[in-house]
Amino acid sequence: VMLISRPYPDWFNLVWKYAERFSETERKLIFGENAKAFYRL
């Protein structure tokens, strides 16, 4: 809830910085799942 309540661009930038630590494959898995969750909101 806390993350979702933040402005979307700020949240996305925060997640992207964190995702830079992951490999391309892991990033796709993570963002694929997150995208599905976002569309439900």
pLDDT in tens, 1-41: 455 565 667 777 777 777 777 777 776 777 777 777 666 54
Whether the pTM exceeds 0.85: the reply is no
Give the pLDDT confidence score for residue 37 in this predicted structure.
65
What tokens were used for 28? 């796709």
Domain range for 9 is 2-40
Instruction: Give the chain's domain count.
Output: 1
